[in-house]
């Protein structure tokens, strides 16, 4: 048996009054996902512990069966692994967004989804102006970058920028959790304020402003941590060879620590215009010499953060027509049976534009297995499913059993 996990980031939502109480999952055209639900078994999965923030890093690690309370060390360290930055024991790594401020408020967490070329130029500029032997900026993808501080303390309270759209940035700045971290908090806040002065009139931002685009006029460091100690999927579940396909550094970094091969697809953007077909083909190609492929698609999460219901619904339909359809058709031709699972990592409701801890709907289709009563896939129909409510490593064990 081989396995595919299709992860539609942030797909789950809440009933929307303006859409007759329906969610994007209920409104999307998704005949192939619904068919898997009808032929498979379903349930709900709690991916985020009550005492942890509902970030994609925590939720995706939980989907893969990790005890996040014991292995999670922040988002920055995962993205460091993705871009090949090797951390020393005393290195503090933080995710570093380029964000857009307007009238002193956080307008968005992505600087209007700034391009790679533009963001690389800005991060290189900041590293030359602010970097030194103790401080280093590394470019990532679009608005998502990395900040490493030698001898930094992780006991700092950093607010994820996607959780506070419209809020005054000063009220969300870094706060020390104890006296030992005061110096680190002061340094991070200095870097935030200094970046604003440096970026305000940068040529990249002048061009973006002239074009009517949101400018990248501040950095925003968050999710601090040290190099984690994570067992591989082979050590956890005996999976000999696995692969991850994603446009997002964070997910690739999880793959590195999980011992997975990271497969990059040309044209994968992390947005609605990503190369769906390329990712689907790469999954099938990888399945020929891997036991498990984790296919992550970010588009629906970004649409949820924008509060764009129509776009989020469309990204789910794209996932069905341009990825799941191909996976179903190609795996049916294979001699070895293939189990396909579909789920989000966490909800990203369009009404609130932020992640929540609510349990997510999942389906697992194993060829030849007796289906349950579920007839289609959404947040509510799966409650009829045979799996009930799972947590911890129960999803991976159900998948692999």
What local confidence, expressed as pLDDT, does residue 89 receive?
A: 87
Query: How large a percentage of the chain has pLDDT more than 70?
Result: 100
Average confidence (pLDDT) over 178-199: 98
What local confidence, expressed as pLDDT, does residue 74 receive?
A: 84
What local confidence, expressed as pLDDT, does residue 101 receive?
A: 98
Q: Is the pLDDT of residue 210 over 90?
A: yes
Q: Is the pLDDT of residue 75 over 90?
A: no
C-alpha 122/C-alpha 192 separation (Å) is: 14
What local confidence, expressed as pLDDT, does residue 249 receive?
A: 86
Average confidence (pLDDT) over 98-102: 98
Q: Where are the alpha helices (DSSP H) in 307-349?
A: 309-319, 325-331
360-365 and 41-46 beta bridge pairing = antiparallel
What local confidence, expressed as pLDDT, does residue 390 receive?
A: 98
Average confidence (pLDDT) over 11-39: 98
Q: Which two tokens stand for residue 352?
A: 């609130």
What local confidence, expressed as pLDDT, does residue 118 receive?
A: 98
The DSSP secondary structure of 263-298, one letter per residue, reads: E--TT--SSTTS-HHHHHHHHHHHHTT-SEEEEEE-
- Which of the 8 DSSP states describes residue 350? T
pLDDT 10s digits, 245-300: 999 988 999 999 999 999 999 999 988 999 999 999 999 999 999 999 999 999 99
Average confidence (pLDDT) over 233-243: 97
How wide is the angle at C-alpha 147 spanned by C-alphas 103 and 94, nearest 5°? Answer: 85
Q: Which band of pLDDT confidence, cut at 50, 70 and 90, is reported for residue 83?
A: confident
pLDDT 10s digits, 330-384: 999 999 999 999 999 999 999 999 999 999 999 999 999 999 999 999 999 999 9
């Amino acid at each position: 048996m081989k396995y595919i996990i299709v992860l539609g980031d942030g797909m789950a939502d809440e009933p929307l009054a303006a859409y007759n109480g329906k969610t994007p999952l209920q409104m999307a055209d998704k005949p192939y996902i619904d068919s898997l639900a009808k032929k498979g078994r379903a349930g709900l999965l709690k991916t985020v512990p009550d005492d942890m923030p509902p970030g994609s890093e925590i939720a995706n690690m939980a989907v893969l069966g990790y005890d996040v309370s014991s292995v999670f060390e922040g988002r920055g360290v995962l993205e460091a692994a993705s871009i090949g930055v090797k951390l020393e024991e005393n290195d503090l790594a933080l995710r570093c967004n380029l964000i857009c401020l307007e009238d002193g408020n956080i307008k968005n967490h992505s600087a209007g989804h700034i391009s790679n070329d533009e963001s690389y130029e800005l991060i290189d500029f900041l590293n030359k102006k602010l970097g030194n032997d103790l401080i280093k900026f590394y470019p990532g993808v679009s608005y998502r970058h990395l900040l490493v501080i030698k001898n930094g303390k992780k006991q700092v309270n950093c607010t994820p920028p996607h959780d506070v759209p419209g809020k005054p940035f000063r009220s969300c700045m870094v706060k020390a959790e104890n006296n030992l971290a005061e110096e680190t908090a002061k340094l991070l806040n200095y870097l935030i304020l200094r970046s604003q002065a440096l970026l305000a009139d940068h040529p990249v931002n002048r061009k973006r402003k002239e074009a009517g685009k949101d400018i990248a006029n501040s950095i925003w460091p968050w999710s601090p941590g040290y190099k984690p100690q994570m067992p591989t999927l082979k050590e956890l579940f005996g999976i000999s060879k696995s692969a991850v396909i994603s446009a997002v550094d964070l997910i690739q970094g999880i793959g590195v620590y999980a011992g997975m091969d990271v497969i990059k697809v040309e044209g994968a953007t992390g947005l609605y215009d990503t190369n769906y077909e390329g990712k689907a083909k790469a999954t099938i190609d990888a399945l020929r010499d891997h036991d498990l492929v984790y296919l992550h698609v970010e588009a629906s999460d970004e649409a949820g953060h924008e509060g764009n219901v129509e776009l989020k619904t469309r990204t789910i339909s794209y996932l069905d027509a341009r990825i799941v359809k191909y996976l179903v058709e190609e795996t049916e031709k294979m001699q070895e049976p293939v189990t396909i699972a579909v789920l989000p990592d966490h909800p990203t409701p369009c009404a609130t534009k932020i992640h929540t801890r609510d349990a997510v709907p999942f389906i697992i289709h194993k060829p030849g297995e007796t289906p349950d009563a579920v007839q289609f896939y959404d947040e509510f129909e799966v409650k009829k499913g045979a799996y009930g409510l799972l947590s911890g490593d129960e999803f991976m064990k159900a998948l692999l059993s």
